[in-house]
Chain A
């Protein structure tokens, strides 16, 4: 999506943060916006995930609004 010029933000948990950086670099998108989440998210229950979603949604929207420039591959 980022390569197509769509505003994009990657959600990456702490355990995979380093891998996210590696993949972004390897794919030629080192500045791709990434938002760090606690680990784990999956399996923590609907209530917990909904709370997390409410907490980060404004930040994600703000990031998406600021980042609309296509990232060169």
Chain B
């Protein structure tokens, strides 16, 4: 992965990287030695440090290898700690990354950034946060995907067996809108302090839109919203409905989150109600996929095993739509969310060599340069 390649010029290097299937199909920044060195420096740790082997190919996820892909994705050095944290999280055995990369299901790791690094790197959490137009979201998520391609060796039809895939397999990164959320930041529910920066990763399908119009004169409004979300969590085409497991993601827009909070609900209350409402009649499941029916099945079948398996966060613009992101629900651990602290205090300035890359966290937005 970190073998030094030579090319006549950057255009030739780009064509070589495309030909070797080292890209996601889009042009990349050429990972020259100075660019990669600067990215390694931004991590604050030794380039030879390996975070582990990445499946399915088993490549060593060294800091330098991660830096190569982070440069290729168009990230700024400031973004490097987020990418490192994401890879650290994904390499936890509970994430089943190797198996996830090889599945025929259309799952992709969704990255959720919390804490001060959201603002420092400009990770968007509002309108279109999972769409185009946000540099940090686009490039950080892309860096993770390029690592999965070049370190994990996931290649379509060969080792990444997704039958169709989805746009989130290019990049799938957003921040939680902590300022608009009526609840504590997501990462504090995993035991982190609010002042820490954390990336949470969960395998996810594309977002499924859930339409809901609030009516302040209708006392049943909060329940209607929760039932709409529950029905989508239990959608009859999903793995979750038939396998009855797998953590799923609910992204509430600020308006919808406020409807629930104004009804006196905490995040935990919302999770408990979503568990209650994400059910399907046994007969309906048996009608559609009898092979997954169990002999002792009866009554209503939950698509969620426990309330904590619904990851609830606030993001996006306010309006009619919130989103549910169903999941693969397979692998040994059945689609577990993982998380890691974003280490921002490891880099140090080397007098006379280079400025501390992390000293300009809200800097210019210029791309990698030599």
Contact = CB atoms under 8 A, between A and B. Distances in A.
Interface residues of A, number: 7
B57 A22 contact: yes
Main secondary structure of the interface of A (DSSP, over half): helix
Given A22-B57, A26-B57, A26-B58, A16 B161 contact: yes
B56 interface: yes
Interface stretch (B113-121, B124-132, B152-160): B152-160
A22 B158 contact: yes
- Summarize B's interface: helix, strand, loop or mixed: loop
Contacts of A22: 56-57, 153, 158-159
Closest CB pairs A-B (n = 9): A22-B159, A26-B58, A26-B57, A18-B158, A19-B161, A22-B158, A26-B56, A19-B159, A23-B56
Given A18-B157, A23-B56, A26-B57, 17 more contacts: A16-B161, A18-B158, A19-B102, A19-B158, A19-B159, A19-B161, A22-B56, A22-B57, A22-B153, A22-B158, A22-B159, A23-B102, A23-B159, A26-B58, A26-B153, A26-B159, A27-B58
Interface string B100-112: 0010000000000
A16 B104 CA distance: 10
Contacts of B102: 19, 23
Contacts of A16: 161
A16 B161 CA distance: 8
Interface string B120-153: 0000000000000000000000000000000001
A61 to B, nearest CB: 28
Contacts of A18: 157-158
- Chain B interface size, as a band, is 10 to 19
Contacts of A27: 58
Interface in A8-23: 16, 18-19, 22-23
Interface string A16-47: 10110011001100000000000000000000
B55 to A, nearest CB: 8
A22 B56 CA distance: 9
15 contacts: A16-B161, A18-B157, A18-B158, A19-B158, A19-B159, A19-B161, A22-B56, A22-B57, A22-B158, A22-B159, A23-B159, A26-B55, A26-B56, A26-B57, A26-B153
B159 to A, nearest CB: 5
Interface string B32-57: 00000000000000000000000111
A72 to B, nearest CB: 15
A39 to B, nearest CB: 12
Nearest to A43: B291
Interface string B153-184: 10001110100000000000000000000000
A73 B58 CA distance: 12
A22 B101 CA distance: 13
Nearest to A27: B58
Contacts of B56: 22-23, 26
A23 B155 CA distance: 12
A62 to B, nearest CB: 29
Nearest to A23: B56
A41 to B, nearest CB: 14
Interface in B53-98: 55-58
A23 B102 CA distance: 9
Nearest to A15: B161
Contacts of B153: 22, 26
A22 B161 CA distance: 12
Interface in A43-63: none
A31 to B, nearest CB: 17
Nearest to A25: B57
Contacts of B159: 19, 22-23, 26
A18 B161 CA distance: 10
Contacts of B158: 18-19, 22
Nearest to A16: B161
A45 B98 CA distance: 31
